[in-house]
Amino acid sequence: MTKIIDGKAISAQIKNELKEEVAKSGLKATLAVIQVGKDPASSVYVGNKKKACEYIGVGSASYELPEETKQEELLKLIDDLNADDSINGILVQLPLPDYIDEKTVINRISPSKDVDGFHPESVGNLCIGQEGFVSCTPAGIIELIKRSGISIEGKECVVIGRSNIVGKPMALLLLANNGTVTVCHSRTKDLKEICKRADILVVAIGRPRMITAEYVKEGATVIDVGIHRTDDGKLCGDVDFDNVKDIAGAITPVPGGVGPMTIAMLMVNLIKAAKLVK
């Protein structure tokens, strides 16, 4: 029987663990959440991040900046929040408007408050196996795999996608957990053959239902990072779930798989940041 990995349940478990820890320890923490403009999808994500803070018993401070905000103003706000001892984590919701340089903004966040794990210092720490903040989606995927009782050590792991937010940190995390890791991308030749070798296949390509049973080894763990709205208004992932579910040993659904984990891991990072200053 294929195991359906329940990201909603696992993320709820993590948030409950944090809620209990906060209640018991009396730890205080506040997340600063910055949104530039009013992109509706970003507003939903930002709202959910603030709700998660409330749920686990920590604070959030919201900065909703107008679309026409100048880069310098955003950088000044980040400087102020970096210097503010009452703020433990700073999150700038992406994407930013075109005229603002994402790299400059990310680099300005103090590495000690980088709860998204996007700062080059955080990425560098991950790369050389030092303690630091890890990008939330790939960190959440590791939790999904481990809490489902699946071991990574010695496994053939294939990651499709090489973005800074998912693919690259995912590969580094699987490697840190002693997996044998291959990273594939849009120029990869023989994608099917490489995927077919995987014991653990992480798919972050951004193309609806592209991965079918032909790409999957019998019994493999299949993790789907994609989320798309189909013409009939339903949500689907990068993996053709119905086609793959009988061949996979374990698989994440969309919705309810990887998605809910990102915010749970953001809360893990926020608590970690608060402990740094305790």
Based on the shown chain and the rule CB under 6 A, indicate whether residue 60 belongs to the binding site for ligand GUN.
Answer: no
Residue 63 near residue 105, CB atoms below 8 Å:
no
Based on the shown chain and the rule CB under 6 A, indicate whether residue 93 belongs to the binding site for ligand GUN.
Answer: yes
Torsion over CA: 239, 245, 246, 251 (sign): positive
Torsion over CA: 79, 83, 87, 90 (sign): positive
Structure tokens at 39: 């992109």
Of 7, 63, 90, 116, which lies in the binding site for ligand GUN, with binding defined by CB under 6 A?
116
> Between residues 169 and 179, which has the closer beta carbon with respect to ligand GUN?
169
Based on the shown chain and the rule CB under 6 A, indicate whether residue 92 belongs to the binding site for ligand GUN.
Answer: yes
Structure tokens at 83: 């210097």
* Neighbouring C-alpha atoms within 13 Å toward the C-beta of 14: 27
Q: How far is CA 146 from CA 10, 33, 175, in A?
A: 11, 29, 14
Least Cβ distance, residue 214 to ligand GUN (angstroms): 30
Of residues 134-173, those binding ligand GUN (CB under 6 A):
136
Based on the shown chain and the rule CB under 6 A, indicate whether residue 273 belongs to the binding site for ligand GUN.
Answer: no
Type and span of the H or E element at 82? helix 71-83
Which one is catalytic: 15, 35, 49, 114?
49
Which one is catalytic: 116, 199, 224, 238?
116
> Between residues 244 and 261, which has the closer beta carbon with respect to ligand GUN?
261
Based on the shown chain and the rule CB under 6 A, indicate whether residue 227 belongs to the binding site for ligand GUN.
Answer: no
Q: Which stretch binds ligand GUN (CB under 6 A): 69-77, 92-100, 182-190, 199-207?
A: 92-100
In degrees rounded to 5, what are phi and psi of residue 90? -125, 125
Q: Which residues are part of the catalytic machinery? A: 49, 93, 116
Q: Which residues bind ligand GUN (CB under 6 A)?
A: 91-94, 116, 136, 262
